[in-house]
Structure 1
Amino acid sequence: MRLHVGCAMWTHAPWQGRFLPHPLPPGERLRAYATWCDAVEGNTTFYATPARSTVESWARQTGPDFRFVVKLPKTITHERRLADADEELRSFLEAVEPLGPRAHALWIQLPASFTPADVGALAGFLRGLPGSYRYAVEVRHRAFFDDARSAGLLERVLAGAGAEWVPFDTTALFQSPPTSDAERDAWTKKPRVPRRSSALTDRPIVRYLGRDDTARTVEGWRPWVATVAGWLREGRSPTVFVHTPDNADALVLARRFHDEVRAQVPEVEPLPDPMPAEPLTLF
């Protein structure tokens, strides 16, 4: 029984020398992160398809049970809006192939302008994807959350393709006004949609955004602890990504979330012991 947890990135300046050794060469940073968490969001691929050699380095630094949820490039999802993107998709799939089983899901994040009227395009795109990967879709238009018919339409399309609906839970962030610069920035950029906690597959994926205050972050994820524990008891294998506006403590918070779920479901496998930030000495 596995619960995977992770963050939005594997390298972050506030972690260096505090949680992770510093300095570390680029080819060792993911390896160090993987001693803290066993999953990561592949956000960088949204901006550009990586070189295959880069992805081979990611694979070398992680074990086969590590999970990447890798975002499709914005040229496919936002610029071409899932149409006439065969060449871009082919290049992306060739680049990420070295991940092998680590590619837990290919993540199709759609813009807020993608409405229920566009679901037909998503259905056609999903039908054309290779069956060798799992797929996860994130939508941001309010109608998918406020209108039951729109939500049902999307669920039917996703279920037909065996794809998951990825919720991005920002309710804790928007519960009260921002209190830090990072929170103020997040208020202008993050989607303001209701919490959604239904799983469509045996491998649900959750993105949770808390606050820069740890207590408020932990309070905001309480419903997810119960939901994820329930999924595990049902035999599902969830992956949860913990964000905060500044992400300064995201590594520790992801492990804390794992611990809280494991307290309710003791059969869950523990995370590995994290690599120390300071070299071990004999004295």
Structure 2
Amino acid sequence: MRLHVGCAMWTLKAWQGRILPHPLPTNERLRHYAGWCDAVEGNTTFYATPTRETVATWADQTGPGFRFVLKLPRTVTHDHRLTDADEPLRAFLHAIEPLGPRAHALWIQLPGSFAPADVPTLARFLRRLPTTHRYAVEVRHPAFFDDPRAVRLLEGVLTDADAEWIPFDTTAFFRSPPTSDAERNAWTKKPRMPLRTHALTERPIVRYLGRDDTVRTVEGWQHWIDVVAGWLREGRSPTVFVHTPDNADAPVLARRFHDEVRARVPGLAPLPEPIPVEPSPVEPSPVEPLTLF
């Protein structure tokens, strides 16, 4: 019985010297992040497919139980809309091979214009994917949340492919107006997604967006504590990603989420202990030269 938790990235300037040591070589940052969380969203793969050598360093820095949820390239999902995209998809699958089982799921994030009428395209795409990976789909068209027929249609296609539906819960974020620059920026960019808590597979994946105020973030995830605890009791193995607009405390919040679920499910395995962060050395103040008058 495992609950994996993580963030949208494994390094952030706001974490330096507090959550991650500073300075820290690029090829050590993921290793230190993996002491805090045991999963991470692979958002960067949406914009560019990494080299196979780069991916091999990711594997070297993480244990076999670490989970990557890697986003398919936008050339596949947005530019080609899941058709005639064999070459970029093949290159992506080749590049991520060094991760082995760490590649927990390949994340198919579809644009808001991808509507119920496009579901047959998704079905064909899923049927052609190699069975060596698990797949998870995130949709943003309102009909998939408002129209029961569209919900049934998508759930049927995903169930046939043993693929998960990833909810992006932004309800807590949009509950009240923004109060910081980061929140105001996110207010114009994040989708207003309805709440969905139904899992289709044994390995559900949740993306949760809170606020920069920790109290409001924790208040907003309480229903997920209940849902995730229930999934664990059913024998499922969920992964939850905690976001905030500035993400400054995201690893700490992810661990807190895990702790709150573990209080409900005592048999849940604990997270690893973070690698201690040594205080940054203090530079000595320069000595002013003595001036004689």
Letter in 2 for 1:202: E
TM-score under structure 2 length normalisation: 0.95
Post-superposition offset of 1:230: 0.1
Post-superposition offset of 1:278: 1.1
Deviating beyond 4 angstroms after TM superposition, the runs of 4 or more aligned structure 1 residues are none
Distance 1:131 1:221 in 2: 33
Post-superposition offset of 1:275: 1.1
Does 1:248 pair with 2:248? yes
Q: Which residue number in structure 2 is paired with residue 274 of structure 1?
A: 274
What pairs with 1:1-283 in structure 2 (closer than 5 Å)? 1-278=1-278
Distance 2:122 2:188 in 1: 27
- Which runs of no fewer than 5 residues in structure 1 stay unpaired? none
Post-superposition offset of 1:279: 6.1
Post-superposition offset of 1:18: 0.9
- Which runs of no fewer than 5 residues in structure 2 stay unpaired? 281-293
SS at match of 1:273: coil
Letter in 2 for 1:39: A
Distance 1:164 1:147 in 2: 19
Letter in 1 for 2:112: A
Post-superposition offset of 1:276: 1.5
RMSD: 0.9
Distance 1:174 1:147 in 2: 22
Distance 2:147 2:30 in 1: 40
**Percent identity of the aligned residues?**
76
Q: Which has the larger radius of gyration?
A: 2
SS at match of 1:206: strand
Letter in 1 for 2:27: G
- 1:56-94, Cα deviation, whole Å (9 max, x unpaired): 000000000000000000000000000000001000000
SS at match of 1:199: coil
Distance 2:160 2:188 in 1: 35
For the 8 Å contact 2:17–2:279, the answer to whether it is kept is no
Distance 1:146 1:16 in 2: 42
